[in-house]
């Protein structure tokens, strides 16, 4: 009998498909993906993909980004209901209002946002490149940062740039409290503490490093530390254990999970490949063109 993973491998060849998976996806999905990465890495892979079909194991805004960057490909989100609550905390209309209130400001938009909001923005960023890009924006202009108030405040703290924040946040990372950080540090006193910039400032301030997931994966390979406390979605522990198994990783808490990232299974991935289910993500017209402009500027400026 053919196993699900064998069938996925066979169908990938039949349909000339690749599977992209975020580091927050369940381990079984990461294990069958052609590329596992953070939003930035996945954007780069999506832009370079020469397969006809991209099976995007993540949430809607990520699949939308892949579709915008690859208008000629079929981009399929295996679980159509997998959205991102933070992305849904802002609409294009609300951003237009904000721009009216702060004329002349540059709009820097976290990729965790709907295509319509990217289209109303000057440039996008991910948590990996937000500081680099903010540092390259015109110095005589303020920045409107949407939708994540925590990443936006991190940009303000690290670059000193004036930043207007939107009240969006990630419900998963917002659960990381200072008490949780202190408890983890007490349990693992020798470990280097890393936290994602989507976490609140009071928790970030207690940690050794503020890193995107991609930066965490790179950092553990280098340097003298052998143990790490990981302050982000626990799916990344699978990635870290797979890529750098000689080091030790402790979750900040087992509670740091994103329900939307955990909806997918091998079965949903297989059914998406068979085209029995899944959402064919399509962003077209003016919205796609403008959003592509914001994303392309990000890719160019982060080099």
The residues of the shown chain that bind ligand SF4, judged by CB under 6 A, are 24, 59, 84-86, 112, 170-172, 233, 258, 260-261
- We find the least distance from the C-beta atom of residue 261 to ligand SF4, in angstroms, to be 5
Q: Would you say 83 or 142 has its CB closer to ligand SF4?
A: 83
Nearer to ligand SF4, 64 or 233 (CB): 233
Nearer to ligand SF4, 86 or 115 (CB): 86
Q: How far apart are CA 279 and CA 58, in angstroms?
A: 12
Residue 76 φ/ψ, nearest 5 degrees: -120, 130
99: region left, alpha or beta (phi > 0 left; psi from -120 to 50 alpha): alpha
Q: How far is the CB of 147 from ligand SF4 (least distance, A)?
A: 10
Closest CA to 49 of 27, 31, 65: 65
Instruction: Report in angstroms how near the CB of residue 14 gets to ligand SF4 at its nearest.
Output: 30
Closest approach, Cβ 39 to ligand SF4, in A, equals: 9
Residue 14, token pair as written in the block: 């039949």
We find the least distance from the C-beta atom of residue 216 to ligand SF4, in angstroms, to be: 14
Find the shortest distance in angstroms from Cβ 175 to ligand SF4: 10
Q: For residues 11 and 30, which CB has a smaller minimum distance to ligand SF4 in the complex?
A: 30
Name every residue whose Cβ is closer than 8 Å to that of residue 26 and which is 6 or more positions away in sequence.
Answer: 235, 238, 262, 264, 265
Of 12 and 43, CB closest to ligand SF4: 43
Q: Tell me how far, at minimum, the Cβ of 165 lies from ligand SF4, in Å.
A: 16
**277 vs 284: CA distance, rounded Å:** 22
Given the complex with ligand SF4, which of 105 and 166 has the nearer CB atom?
166
Please, which residues have CB within 8 angstroms of residue 300's CB and are 6 or more apart in sequence?
Answer: none
Whose Cβ is closer to ligand SF4: residue 84's or residue 210's? 84
Residues 6+ apart with CB under 8 A from 22: 36, 37, 38, 39, 42, 57, 58, 59, 62, 235, 261
Backbone dihedral angles phi then psi of residue 130, each to the nearest 5 degrees:
-55, -45
Asked whether the beta carbons of 152 and 161 are under 8 A apart, the reply is no
Q: Could you tell me the smallest distance in angstroms from the CB atom of residue 296 to ligand SF4?
A: 22
Measure the CA–CA gap between 285 and 7, rounded to whole angstroms.
36
Nearer to ligand SF4, 70 or 113 (CB): 113
Between CA 60 and CA 114 the distance in angstroms is 8
């Amino acid at each position: 009998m053919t196993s699900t993973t064998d069938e996925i491998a066979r169908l990938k060849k039949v349909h000339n498909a690749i599977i992209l998976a975020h580091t927050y996806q369940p381990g079984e999905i990461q294990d069958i993906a052609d590329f596992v990465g953070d939003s930035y890495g996945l954007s780069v892979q999506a832009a370079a993909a020469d397969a006809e079909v991209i099976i995007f194991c993540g949430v809607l805004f990520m699949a939308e980004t892949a579709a915008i960057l690859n208008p000629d490909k079929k981009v399929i989100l295996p679980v159509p209901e997998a959205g991102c609550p933070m992305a849904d905390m802002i609409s294009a209309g609300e951003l237009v209002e904000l721009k009216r209130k702060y004329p002349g400001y540059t709009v820097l938009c976290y990729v965790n946002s709907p295509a319509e909001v990217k289209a109303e923005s000057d440039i996008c960023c991910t948590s990996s490149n937000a500081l680099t890009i903010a540092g390259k924006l015109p110095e005589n202009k303020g920045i409107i940062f949407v939708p994540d108030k925590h990443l936006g405040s991190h940009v303000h703290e690290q670059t000193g740039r004036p930043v207007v924040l939107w009240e969006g946040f990630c419900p998963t990372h917002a659960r990381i409290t200072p008490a949780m950080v202190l408890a983890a540090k007490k349990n693992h006193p020798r470990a280097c503490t890393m936290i994602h910039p989507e976490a609140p400032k009071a928790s970030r301030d207690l940690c050794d490093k503020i890193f995107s997931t991609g930066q965490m994966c790179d950092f553990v390979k280098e340097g003298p530390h052998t143990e790490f406390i990981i302050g982000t979605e626990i799916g990344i522990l699978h990635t870290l254990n797979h890529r750098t198994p000689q080091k030790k990783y402790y979750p900040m808490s087992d509670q740091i999970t994103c329900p939307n990232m955990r909806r997918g299974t091998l079965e949903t991935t297989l059914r998406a490949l068979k085209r029995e289910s899944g959402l064919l993500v399509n962003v077209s017209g003016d919205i796609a063109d403008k959003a592509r402009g914001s994303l392309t500027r990000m890719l160019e400026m982060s080099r």
